[in-house]
């Protein structure tokens, strides 16, 4: 499906008199790079004229010194994007999208996925509308243009009433910055300030990284409008809160704070609960870098088994353009991860990771640890078995490729060659995340907050 999952990091800044806000966006995008490495873009308002730069690649590749010197203005938005489908991964499918309509120009970017994208797009196409991209936000921009007679806020409300899915949006006009979060609050969105300037960001880590201060989360179903008159908000129809619990397990940075909970604390708690639910004796606890590290520290604290580094990750790899051949893979060339033999040889290990999806990575990791001399490898997973695919913004494979969908836990243990395997319970994960029942847990239960049509 084109217009499918678009996991992204988004950020916007509004200033009354600072013409250098592109620098905030630039550093903010660096802080959000973990949410998407396929493309990066910034659009900026300079006295009513919207300039932009976007391309495939990492933030450091796309924005040269010359580009940054050109991007001047006092309102700006930016996005780093994951791009789940290769056909979508083109420069024109990068965001922010800049569009012109009868009221002028606006720029828009989104984190999330629109479930009824194809239906909405088909309706427009049947009436002769031509789309320039495969982006979900182009449909949202077209809806806004369709409804925009008087107030832009009214048009956004009307447009979002037609949209079904998960979305955190940032929109820039010639004189305002507008943010919106879907009625369930599936993707995060936070509001902050740096000096007198306002910031909207997917995660608080970007606000802090540019020297700003977090104010509050954008509420589910809230539209926040920032302009020369200050900040105000309007409400969409609100629905049952359902933050994607995977944000806490894996997606968000551990130094972020989402909907009144620290991501680090949630991950640490999963490690403690993993030990409480299934205590195991071992010599050391190691984490799969980086996603299992915090849970491994929690496991070590609760179990009193020493935590140690067991696998070293090469942090200087951007994207590798030359895929290793099967021969190279089989020879065990380890470009990204290498075991720390001195810490694991002859030892009974607890290996903690955030999740098992296809099972291929954990299998390779266990094999690598055994080759390095581990006496036993006990795998502990800080999320329940992933049995269902996600259509709300996270690029999980089809269900038939999810190992937990077609194997029991014992069969998975054998397939990955672990001495033992345990997944945290769903109750344990929810407790670790703060205990309140305000989450989407669809990939574990098949029960999603948003109704799924046959086409998605």
Question: Shortest distance, CB of residue 166 to ligand SF4, whole angstroms?
Answer: 6
Structure tokens at 56: 């495939």
Question: Shortest distance, CB of residue 275 to ligand SF4, whole angstroms?
Answer: 24
Tell me if 394 contacts ligand SF4 by CB under 6 A. Answer: yes
CA distances to 102, 222, 345, 455 from 143, in Å: 13, 18, 60, 21
Q: For residues 199 and 357, which CB has a smaller minimum distance to ligand SF4 in the complex?
A: 357
Near ligand SF4 by CB under 6 A, which window of 135-143, 149-157, 252-260, 438-446?
438-446
d(CA 249, CA 142): 35
Sign of the Cα torsion 153, 159, 160, 161 reads: positive
Alpha helices in 188-229 (DSSP H): 204-209
Q: Which of 184, 185, 139 is nearest to 162 (CA)?
A: 139
Question: Shortest distance, CB of residue 311 to ligand SF4, whole angstroms?
Answer: 25
Structure tokens at 419: 């001495």
Question: Shortest distance, CB of residue 354 to ligand SF4, whole angstroms?
Answer: 12
Tell me if 143 contacts ligand SF4 by CB under 6 A. Answer: no
CA distances to 217, 242, 266, 429 from 256, in Å: 12, 18, 11, 18
Question: If you write DSSP's letter for every residue of 373-390 in order, what string do you get?
Answer: T-SEEEEEESS----S--
Q: For residues 178 and 263, which CB has a smaller minimum distance to ligand SF4 in the complex?
A: 263
Q: For residues 141 and 251, which CB has a smaller minimum distance to ligand SF4 in the complex?
A: 251
Q: For residues 177 and 245, which CB has a smaller minimum distance to ligand SF4 in the complex?
A: 245
Q: What is the largest CA-CA distance in the chain?
A: 72
Question: Shortest distance, CB of residue 360 to ligand SF4, whole angstroms?
Answer: 19
Q: For residues 165 and 212, which CB has a smaller minimum distance to ligand SF4 in the complex?
A: 165
Near ligand SF4 by CB under 6 A, which window of 146-154, 292-300, 409-417, 434-442?
434-442
Tell me if 114 contacts ligand SF4 by CB under 6 A. Answer: no
d(CA 218, CA 215): 10
Question: Shortest distance, CB of residue 321 to ligand SF4, whole angstroms?
Answer: 28
Q: Contacting ligand SF4 (CB under 6 A), which of 297, 311, 369, 440?
A: 440
Q: Are strands 222-227 and 230-235 parallel, antiparallel or unpaired?
A: antiparallel
Structure tokens at 409: 């836990």
Q: For residues 308 and 355, which CB has a smaller minimum distance to ligand SF4 in the complex?
A: 355
Tell me if 443 contacts ligand SF4 by CB under 6 A. Answer: yes
Q: For residues 5 and 212, which CB has a smaller minimum distance to ligand SF4 in the complex?
A: 5
**Which residues inside 241-260 make contact with ligand SF4, applying CB under 6 A?**
244-246
Sign of the Cα torsion 125, 187, 242, 454 reads: positive
How many residues of this chain bind ligand SF4 (CB under 6 A)? 12
d(CA 228, CA 381): 49
Question: Shortest distance, CB of residue 59 to ligand SF4, whole angstroms?
Answer: 24
d(CA 210, CA 456): 37
Q: Contacting ligand SF4 (CB under 6 A), which of 137, 141, 390, 432?
A: 390
Q: Which residue has the tokens 């038939």?
A: 400
Tell me if 186 contacts ligand SF4 by CB under 6 A. Answer: yes
Tell me if 380 contacts ligand SF4 by CB under 6 A. Answer: no
Q: For residues 148 and 181, which CB has a smaller minimum distance to ligand SF4 in the complex?
A: 181
Question: Shortest distance, CB of residue 456 to ligand SF4, whole angstroms?
Answer: 12
The residues pairing with 224 across neighbouring beta strands, listed in sequence order, are: 179, 233
Near ligand SF4 by CB under 6 A, which window of 119-127, 145-153, 223-231, 239-247?
239-247
Q: Are strands 197-201 and 8-14 parallel, antiparallel or unpaired?
A: antiparallel
Question: Shortest distance, CB of residue 245 to ligand SF4, whole angstroms?
Answer: 5
Q: For residues 10 and 209, which CB has a smaller minimum distance to ligand SF4 in the complex?
A: 10
Tell me if 392 contacts ligand SF4 by CB under 6 A. Answer: yes
The residues pairing with 75 across neighbouring beta strands, listed in sequence order, are: 14, 45
Does residue 112 contact residue 392 with C-beta atoms inside 8 Å?
A: yes
Tell me if 441 contacts ligand SF4 by CB under 6 A. Answer: yes
Tell me if 282 contacts ligand SF4 by CB under 6 A. Answer: no
Does residue 378 contact residue 350 with C-beta atoms inside 8 Å?
A: yes
Q: Where do contacts with ligand SF4 occur on this chain (CB under 6 A)?
A: 186, 244-246, 390, 392, 394, 440-443, 448
């Amino acid at each position: 499906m084109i217009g499918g999952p678009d996991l992204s990091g988004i950020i916007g800044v509004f200033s009354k008199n600072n013409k250098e806000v592109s620098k905030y966006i630039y550093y903010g995008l660096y802080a959000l790079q973990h949410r998407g490495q396929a493309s990066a873009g910034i659009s900026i308002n300079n006295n009513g004229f919207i300039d932009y730069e976007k391309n495939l690649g990492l933030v450091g590749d796309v924005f040269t010194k010359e580009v940054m010197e050109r991007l001047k203005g006092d309102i700006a938005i930016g996005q780093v994007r994951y791009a789940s489908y290769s056909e979508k991964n083109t420069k024109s499918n990068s965001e922010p999208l800049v569009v012109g309509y009868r009221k002028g120009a606006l720029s828009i970017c989104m984190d999330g996925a629109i479930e009824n994208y194809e239906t909405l797009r088909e309706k427009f196409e049947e009436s002769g509308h031509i789309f320039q991209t495969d982006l979900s936000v182009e449909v949202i921009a077209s809806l806004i243009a369709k409804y925009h007679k008087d107030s832009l806020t009214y048009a956004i409300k009307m447009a979002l009433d037609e949209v079904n899915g998960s979305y955190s949006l940032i929109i820039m006009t010639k004189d305002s910055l507008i943010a919106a979060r879907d009625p369930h609050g599936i993707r995060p969105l936070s509001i902050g300030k740096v000096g007198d300037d306002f910031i909207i960001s997917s995660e608080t880590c970007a606000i802090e990284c540019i020297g700003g201060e977090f104010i509050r989360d954008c509420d589910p179903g809230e539209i926040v409008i920032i302009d020369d008159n200050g900040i105000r908000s309007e409400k969409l129809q609100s629905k049952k809160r359902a933050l994607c619990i995977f944000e806490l397990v894996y997606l968000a940075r551990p130094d972020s704070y989402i909907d009144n909970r620290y991501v680090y604390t949630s991950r640490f708690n999963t490690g403690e609960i993993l030990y409480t639910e299934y205590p195991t004796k071992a010599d050391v606890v190691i984490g799969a870098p980086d996603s299992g590290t915090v849970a491994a520290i929690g496991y070590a604290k609760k179990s009193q088994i020493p935590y140690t580094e067991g696998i070293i990750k090469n942090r200087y790899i951007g994207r590798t353009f030359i895929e290793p051949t099967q021969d190279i893979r089989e020879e065990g060339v380890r470009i990204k991860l290498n075991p720390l033999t001195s810490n694991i040889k002859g030892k009974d290990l607890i290996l903690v990771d955030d999740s098992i999806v296809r099972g291929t990575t954990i299998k390779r990791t266990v094999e690598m640890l055994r080759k390095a001399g581990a006496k036993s490898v006990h795998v502990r997973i800080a999320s329940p078995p992933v049995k269902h695919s996600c259509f709300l913004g996270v690029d999980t494979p089809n269900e038939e490729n999810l190992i937990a969908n077609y194997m029991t836990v014992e069969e998975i243990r054998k397939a990955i060659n672990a001495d033992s395997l345990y997944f945290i319970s769903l109750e344990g994960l929810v407790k670790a995340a703060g205990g309140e029942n305000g989450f989407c847990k669809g990939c574990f239960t098949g029960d999603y907050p948003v109704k799924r049509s046959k086409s998605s």
